[in-house]
Amino acid sequence: MIRMALLIGVLSSASTAAAQASPPACMRLAVVAYPSATRTPPQTRKVPLFSATQVADLEFRIVWGPGSKGAELFQLRLFTPAGHLYQAMDLPVGLPGKQAEATRNLNGYPFPVPVARREAATAEGLDAEQVSARLPLGGSLVSTASLYGRWRAEAWPDNAPAPCASVVFDVTP
């Protein structure tokens, strides 16, 4: 019994050390108005604010830094102000050094899904990469059902037990 407890403790410590040694799949998740020329003032708030009558789309950017490969698939989960899951978007990510693929077959999807293109970015002063996805805001269910308030978005790497990054933002009429 003691030997089994020691073995479990050693395995637990080894898996924790391995998890700490590998860089996270992403560093941050950002949300911006799209197109950026939309009539919104520069964001100076800690929590970004978007008006559903002035912003056509929201663009979510999943960013990862040096030493991280990112992930081959991210799931972006969006939660309403009431905490309910509003939408989950699967984002297959183009692989570095591989000829650009336009679509990828994913389990559970009847048709191939468009592949998100890796783009150069900077994060915390370092060279980084990012992928982005858009969510319609103006004229969508968000505005027609008055789902205004503080939203939450989470970036989940494929098969991860927890999100690698999250962001909160406010939506107003």
pLDDT averaged per 10 residues, the chain (length 173): 41 41 76 70 76 92 82 94 96 79 91 90 83 91 94 94 95 94
**2 assigned to some structural domain:** no
**5 assigned to some structural domain:** no
Specify the pLDDT at position 112: 95
Specify the pLDDT at position 14: 38
DSSP state at residue 167: E
DSSP state at residue 9: H
Specify the pLDDT at position 98: 66
Specify the pLDDT at position 156: 95
Largest CA distance in the chain: 67
Q: Could you tell me the CA-to-CA distances from 3 to 6, 9, 10, 17, 23 in Å, in that order?
A: 5, 10, 11, 21, 32
Specify the pLDDT at position 3: 44
Specify the pLDDT at position 74: 94
**58 assigned to some structural domain:** yes
**7 assigned to some structural domain:** no
Specify the pLDDT at position 159: 86
**42 assigned to some structural domain:** yes
CATH of residue 79's domain is 2.60.40.1930
Q: Supply the range of the domain harboring residue 41.
A: 24-172
Specify the pLDDT at position 105: 93
pTM for this structure?
Answer: 0.80
Token digits for 116?
């998100």
The structural domain count of the chain equals: 1
**3 assigned to some structural domain:** no
